[in-house]
Amino acid sequence: MSRILTQNLVPGMITAEDVYSYNNQLIIAKDTPLTDKAITKLEFYSVLSIRIKDDQENVDVEIPYQVDPDAIYSDKVKNSPEFKRFKKEFNESLLSFKDSVNDLILKQKIDTESLLEKTNAMLGNNPTGIHVFDMLHNMREFDDPTYAHCLNVALICNVFGKWLGMPAEEVRLLTLCGMLHDVGKLRIPENIISHPGKLSDEEYSIIKTHALEGFNILKNLDLNDHIKNCALMHHERCDGSGYPFGLTSNKIDRYAKIVAIADVYDAMTSPRVYRSQLCPFKVIEIFESEGLQKYDPEFILVFLEYVVNTYMNNRVRLSNGLEGDVVLINKLCLARPMIRCGNHYIDLSRDKKISIEAII
């Protein structure tokens, strides 16, 4: 049996034990071959690593990008001028973000103004067109996933804050919260954080200390308390199933509740070695089927609804092979909108056998 970080799992690996959530709900049974959906579900439950059967670390992955059902849409995003500009700015931001975080850790000082300046410039240049989430999730070539993830979460938070109707000052604060939420991971040795193979139980528990580590890094700095609380509480869940303290909804900082959603959405949709971006409708389906009670309804419902709305009128491929356009969103069943295929309409909320496979 080997313990493998969720981010390094690939479809085909076989579970060596039952996998439970933090509040003891069975997620995947022993001896189950992992699928893409199962791995995404583990991200949903914030399961950091699982045990898989031996000799499975190098399981053959036979899903090359060409047969990836999302590849067409991904290519469309990647070839757009907006994406090329965004990518350049993202890489520049990443460099200055790294410098700022190094200053923060070594010199205990941080310039929040310059941190925000870059993200605002990035988002300001993309008022319409391809959605910022699609651009984020089409960038895969990072050698330091922690920094890129923090910047992703910051950008998602920025968009999310606007969806929530927050005033500009609060959106700025929320963006900083997203940017610094995982700063504690930088105190975890690099060989543990990006460990591609086996992980010992001790290493596993070290990773979980990043929330407290992050708080300790920030606690004496002249920063808004919400930023410090986000580092500490972004893995807490409203139903008490999170860590480090298992806090329930009324004890969790509201900014941390928002960052938690941006964080898990980024983890679930991030490109992996074996696949391109995961179809957002599949991610939303997991949120709806696994239960929304981990997140504050005030935030999660707005988030999912806006994400779905960005795909209104988009062309999609269905699991029955047909292609059509998203024409009507069903608020009670966000992952299953009404699709127009030529002259007829398919209401996915009624026809449960059909689902959206990909955005094309």
Tell me the window of 61-69, 104-112, 186-194, 256-264 that interacts with Fe ion (CB under 5 A). 256-264
Angle at which helices 280-290 and 254-269 cross, to 10°: 130
Bridging pattern class, strands 356-359 and 315-318: antiparallel
- Please list the residues that pair with 19 across neighbouring strands: 28
The token duo for 132 is 């910022």
Q: CB of 129: closest distance to Fe ion in angstroms?
A: 27
Q: CB of 97: closest distance to Fe ion in angstroms?
A: 14
| DSSP designation for 224 | -
For Fe ion, which residue of 239, 263, 285, 357 counts as binding (CB under 5 A)? Answer: 263
Distance CA 71, CA 65 (A): 7
Nearer to Fe ion, 38 or 264 (CB): 264
Reduced to 3 states (helix: H, G, I; strand: E, B; else coil), residue 299 is helix
Q: CB of 181: closest distance to Fe ion in angstroms?
A: 6
Tell me the window of 33-41, 138-146, 156-164, 258-266 that interacts with Fe ion (CB under 5 A). 258-266
Rule CB under 5 A: say whether 236 interacts with Fe ion: no
Distance CA 318, CA 73 (A): 14
Residue corresponding to tokens 């920030």: 218
Tell me the window of 157-165, 177-185, 188-196, 352-360 that interacts with Fe ion (CB under 5 A). 177-185
Nearer to Fe ion, 27 or 156 (CB): 156
Nearer to Fe ion, 233 or 326 (CB): 233
Q: CB of 48: closest distance to Fe ion in angstroms?
A: 9
Tell me the window of 57-65, 100-108, 255-263, 307-315 that interacts with Fe ion (CB under 5 A). 255-263
> Pattern 45-84, binding to Fe ion, x per CB under 5 A?
----------------------------------------
Tell me the window of 5-13, 49-57, 116-124, 176-184 that interacts with Fe ion (CB under 5 A). 176-184
Nearer to Fe ion, 75 or 144 (CB): 144
Q: CB of 73: closest distance to Fe ion in angstroms?
A: 25
Q: What is the CB neighbour count within 10 angstroms for residue 339?
A: 23
Helix (H) or strand (E) holding 61: none
Sign of CA dihedral 47, 24, 227, 310: positive
User: What are the backbone angles phi and psi of residue 328, rounded to the nearest 5°?
Assistant: -150, 130
The token duo for 292 is 């929304």
Rule CB under 5 A: say whether 182 interacts with Fe ion: yes
Q: What is the dihedral of CA 193, 199, 201, 203, to 10 degrees?
A: -30
Nearer to Fe ion, 211 or 307 (CB): 211
The token duo for 266 is 């980024």
| Number of residues located near Fe ion, criterion CB under 5 A | 2
Nearer to Fe ion, 139 or 356 (CB): 139
List alpha helices for 108-131, DSSP H: 112-124
Nearer to Fe ion, 186 or 334 (CB): 186
Angle at 278 between CA 188 and CA 131, to 5 degrees: 95
- Please list the residues that pair with 52 across neighbouring strands: 2, 15
The token duo for 5 is 């970080």
Nearer to Fe ion, 266 or 357 (CB): 266
User: What are the backbone angles phi and psi of residue 290, rounded to the nearest 5°?
Assistant: -85, -5
Distance CA 342, CA 324 (A): 7
Nearer to Fe ion, 71 or 264 (CB): 264
Q: CB of 333: closest distance to Fe ion in angstroms?
A: 28
Q: CB of 297: closest distance to Fe ion in angstroms?
A: 22
Q: CB of 123: closest distance to Fe ion in angstroms?
A: 20
Q: CB of 121: closest distance to Fe ion in angstroms?
A: 23
Q: CB of 66: closest distance to Fe ion in angstroms?
A: 31
Distance CA 100, CA 94 (A): 10
Nearer to Fe ion, 136 or 348 (CB): 136
Write out the residues near Fe ion by the rule CB under 5 A: 182, 263
